[in-house]
A and B are shown apart, each in its own frame.
Chain A
Amino acid sequence: MIFVTQESVGGLFDSYADMVYRIAFNIVKSREEAEDVVMDTFTALIRQDSFESTEHAKAWLIRTAQNKSLNVVKSGRVKRSVPLDELLESVLSSPASDSEYELLDLVMRLPDKLKTTVYMFYYEDMTAAQIAQTLGISENTVYKRLERGRSALKISLEEDAV
């Protein structure tokens, strides 16, 4: 059991701030807005009482980050036609290879509903069942979204496509 204290929040922030940021940036495609979502998400976290475990807190963070990001998009605060290349340049913590850059570029263009699922599956190594539980969607929907995401990204997990 993890109780929400300054110490535990600090630890969760250190562990998952980037994760929340990635999920947010995926959707809002704005560094500033994504940082706001990080703040909002963790502010919501400190108003919780406790979590069963670190992973429970993580799952909670994922869902909350996604919902808050979608709220930002729905609010219209994020404008279309943001030059993503400039944005990516500004947010990458270290130089990316062409293929890495390309992949980020492509993921950003996926429909919002697919991005978090793709991210959770490919980056966080969550299973379809776990993603379904975390996002509150059915496993079939997860598979469908992964299929669509995979198709769009032309990602082959077993071998390089290019």
Chain B
Amino acid sequence: MNKNTFKSAYSKLALSEESRNSIRARLMEQMSLESGAERSDEDDGSHRAQEIKLTPKKRSPLKTALIAGSAAAAVAVCAVGAGFWLNSKPMTQQNETPTAEVQSSEEATEEVTKPETDEAYIEDEYYSLRCANGILHFQKFTETTEEYSRPMNPVEETFRQYLTEKYPFIRSRRLGMDNEYSERIEDDRAAIELLEGAEAAQARVDEMVAYLPLGDELWLSEGRTSDTGIAMVYRSENDTKQVNFSVSDRPDEFYPITLPEGGYLTPVGEYRSSFTMGTVTQFIDPEMFQLAAGSVTVGNDEYFTAVFAYNVTDFGMKYFRIDGKNITQEQFVNCIGTVSYAMVKDHVGYYKDDGLNNYNIEEDETENTIAPDPEDVNTEWGTLKMNALANKYPAWNGGYAFNVQYESVDDIPADYRYNIADIEEYTGIDVQAALPERFSAQQISYYAKYDEIPSVGYGGKGYGVNGEMLPGDDPQEFEDSRAYIEGVYDDGEGETVYDSARYITDKIPYFNDKTRIGAMYYLTCTSDDENEKLEILCFDDWDIAHWYIAGLFARLPATKTYGFAGVNDRYLYFAGDVLCGNENYIAGFTTDDGRYVVLQTCNTGLQTFAETLAKLFTNDPSPAKLCEAEYPPRAFALGLPDLIYETATGQYEAGDVELHDYTPSPDTVYFTTAHEALAAAEKLGGKGASVLAEEWTLIPEKSGVTRYENGEPAELAIYFTNGNKELLVGMSTMCYMDTDTELRMPLPDGRKMDKVPGYYVYECTMFRKEALDNMLYMDPEMAYKAGICGRMVNETEYFHAETDGTAGIAYMIDSKGLSAEEAIDALAVIAYQQENPEFIGKYDGSNQPFHGRFGYALWHKFDCGVVNVNELSFYGKPQFDSDSGEQETTAAEAQRFLEENSITVELPFQPETVTRRSCATNEGYTSEAVTYRSGDKSVRLNVIENGASMYAYGEQYGVGRLEPDVCIMSSYQRDITLCHPVVSAGTLAYGKEICFGIFSDSATGTFYTVTTENVSLEEFSDVLGQVYLLDRTE
């Protein structure tokens, strides 16, 4: 089995043509609905007038009252189907400048010329808002009558569809409510109300309305276009509020809200606000755009205006204008944020100051999460301005904008390798000399993109560097480039297939005549103990680097650091924070030739980071220390997968760490004696604490009860010490994820450590004691759900682990100085309440009693087909309503039973004993089995009627039942004529080879099982084959 087989197999798992077409059609239909374009191709608009309705087709109750209050506004919108259409008739009754509105649609534009006035309105007190990627400063605006033109053509197409097609770069094309969105709200409300009730439905409605900057207060009432621009107008029900949004290729084309004197607002002086553009990953000298925003009050009306412009890739220069009248400042600002690159929020990415990782977080938990301002951080090479670092959800990642992707892989011919020397050649920086001694390069990656060659991103897709040859390509060179992509290298002595296409290199002739337009070297290093990670990226194209930048500078543009390491003529950017429970730092600067160098580290500590940065920044292997500095202690999350995965007591995988401020509950009642503490613990959660007390010293004054139920302790914790080690064990009638009263052992910084709930909440499985005793390892009912996380602080390991309390009592531990294995064992001791502390040791990994055995290599071909071994699991005992138990019988009686069921088998051994057993359930399930034994070998043949009435295709074995794992129907025997699916499975328990096979007669529903102990797979297969072949086809 190799990778090609894998790909070949998976390529056949595909949507059927019918399903594909159906889904595609539904998707396109949905897309039309989303865009407000449901008009069919046949709909030429000629019957549009007939479908114009005076009121929205469906009304949100939120909106109903508003609509009922004004027929004038109602005629501003009309609905065709589920899409939103603009009235093609002039709507002069709503427009403040009717002279412009009464123009026919043929008149594309109208020039408005009025004498200029210098009179400026008195603006409000200037307002500023710090945004994620810039600062919004309100500024002075004045009235002008300078000439301009308006888009005048009523929109011929559905407006949102038109916007989508013409201006896809506008982030959201919906500022206020429209009919189509209103319908979506109603649809959602109806569906959610049906499924989850009115409250949930209303919450959804509120959420959808809140999504709009103007809420449902202003409705889209007008749309205008020209060859070069577009404008949309939102109005409130009584026409007192209005927002106009214009975008055009021309600076003098827009649709302003005119002032009472007939002019419109224009900014005074330079645009004062600026924001970064493009991706939020780029923290070094990002491109900016300027914006002017402000408000003035005229009489009782307040007017807002924002103007800005920027060059949009592939679309050219675009000029934007937003006018608002009598809306709130917040609505106005949110409109700016909706249609521009300005991000009206505190920070980019997801910021939490507790080190919560980004694995599952998709948004800040609270809207008001504030990232800290830059702060000074002292190092021996000078002071760094540390910006806040934010989590980067994958959605923030850039794409793969490259078509060459090389990653160092063993066995790559030297001619095709990249190495650290290449980075030095590329940047002029001695990267090797900058690496701390304890670090070694794990991987050097190289990415490049070439002009006119589309991005490939992942290699090995069979597309080659290009899907097709470019003009002028040499066919052989092109074919060679495909070979590299495919992962095949011909070294002249035959083709070698590599395990990955990670060596797509441009050191092949195909690229000789191509133009490289972007490149990146990416060096990954780890420390000797693998706890620290250091990466250096050197590139000239952010499109390539996006993916590999580990975090986001929380606010852009970032604050610069000048004068670091004595370099006074250049600057760098630096950020740091705890991400994923780890201490992360990122810094970057540009080289003299304009290339970017980024250093990012995880858990190295600030000193190592600063020293490496100083070496890179100065290109000096020994930059002079400029001052003394003290560094914070190293602290980082422990990645448990590297330490432990499976133990005898369960399966553990480190959870992600979050850190919370912690103050012990003032209601905690501390114990006064160890005896008192152990007595309370034993009463609540068993003898586990007492077991621990045999080896550990209990500190009663640090142990206490934190919650009572009916006067009895319902949650308590016991504190132990043992030399330098500390251990706090807790037990509670509530799941620890649901309680906030628990007594904890805080980390040195005073915070407590918790595991971030994962997709499966606790993620780990901890077998219950009964499961261990009875070998019921695979039975989910016989396991706790458990979670564990760890953190290293000042070279001391801290762990927190807990169970979900499925047995009625939840347990947790906090440890200091214990290894992961010791921490897990401690949790097991209190959870198992085991009197003998040696209990845990009995289940060391080498003696793990029950291993599922399955896999490609485990199969056996027998006369009628192939036994393919599936995983066999061990679950709880099946529940029979009647059970004879195993009764000794004679060989003749057993033979008679088998003959009655048309079974004749030749056993692989001479039986010493024979037993019969009959079981049944009231639902009609009957099981008649005969078991042959000789020494430690056995063969059991079972005939089961109405087997489907049982909840599983199982066979009782010992105190549990054997059951093949999920999806076990393998029909690998398709090369024979029989059509009954055979399920076979194997396992190894306490040295016994257990095999189990089952198939059913589709005509009668009868199941036949064969279960063997300590016979070979071949012998089992022979028995199964004999039972299977017995005239089942007739």
Contacts and interface: CB of A to CB of B under 8 A. Distances in A.
Interface of A: 1, 3-6, 9-10, 13-14, 17-18, 21-22, 25, 29, 35, 38-39, 42-43, 46-47, 49-60, 63, 67, 70, 80-86, 88-89, 91-106, 108-109, 119, 122-127, 129-130, 133-138, 140-141, 144, 151-162
Interface residues of B, number: 91
B393 A136 contact: yes
Contact of A4 (B168, B397, B639): B168
Contact of B641 (A100, A123, A140): A140
A124 B35 CA distance: 32
A3 B169 CA distance: 7
B639 A140 contact: yes
Contacts of A60: 394-395
B398 A53 contact: yes
A133 B543 CA distance: 16
B27 A46 contact: yes
The 3 closest A-B pairs by CB, nearest first: A53-B399, A56-B399, A3-B168
Contacts of B457: 53-55, 58
Interface stretch (B369-377, B495-503, B907-915): B495-503
Interface stretch (B14-22, B147-155, B224-232, B986-994): B14-22
B458 A106 contact: no
Interface stretch (B738-746, B819-827, B854-862): B854-862
Contacts, number: 259
A57 B395 CA distance: 9
Contacts of B2: 155-160
B455 A55 contact: yes
B15 A155 contact: no
B459 interface: yes
A29 B968 CA distance: 12
Contact of B966 (A17, A67, A80, A91): A80
A98 B8 CA distance: 12
B870 interface: yes
B981 interface: yes
Contacts of B759: 67, 70
B984 to A, nearest CB: 12
B330 interface: no
A57 B969 CA distance: 36
Given A84-B969, A108-B967, A59 B397 contact: yes
A81 B966 CA distance: 6
7 contacts: A50-B171, A83-B981, A86-B971, A95-B12, A104-B10, A130-B458, A162-B856
B801 to A, nearest CB: 18
A13 to B, nearest CB: 6
Contacts of B28: 6, 9-10
Nearest to B948: A81
Contact of A161 (B8, B394, B857, B981): B857
B47 interface: no
A158 to B, nearest CB: 6
Contacts of A127: 407, 500, 502
B27 A103 contact: no
Contact of B400 (A53, A136, A154, A161): A53
A127 B971 CA distance: 33
Interface in B856-901: 856-858, 868, 870-871
A106 B856 contact: yes
Given A9-B31, A43-B30, A83 B855 contact: no
Contacts of A50: 168-169, 171
Given A52-B546, A103-B9, A152-B854, A35 B19 contact: yes
B952 interface: yes
A43 B20 CA distance: 14
B36 to A, nearest CB: 12
A102 B868 contact: yes
Contacts of B171: 49-50
B7 A122 contact: yes
Nearest to A35: B19
B1010 to A, nearest CB: 19
B23 A39 contact: yes
Contacts of A93: 12-14, 16
B906 interface: no
Nearest to A18: B14
Contacts of B548: 129
B641 A141 contact: yes
A161 B856 contact: yes
Nearest to A152: B855
Contacts of A161: 1, 856-857
Interface string B936-968: 000000000000000011000000000001111
Given A103-B6, A160-B1, A160-B2, A125 B458 contact: yes
Contacts of B3: 122, 155, 157
Nearest to A14: B24
A155 to B, nearest CB: 5
Contacts of B854: 106, 109, 152
Given A106-B856, A127-B407, A162-B1, A1 B313 contact: yes
A158 B9 contact: no
Contacts of A109: 854, 870-871, 965-968
Contacts of B279: 52
Give the residue among B10, B314, B546 with the most A Cβ atoms within 10 A: B10
A136 B360 contact: yes
Contacts of B359: 136-137
Given A5-B168, A105-B970, A136-B358, A21 B15 contact: yes
Given A3-B169, A82-B967, A109-B967, A155 B856 contact: yes
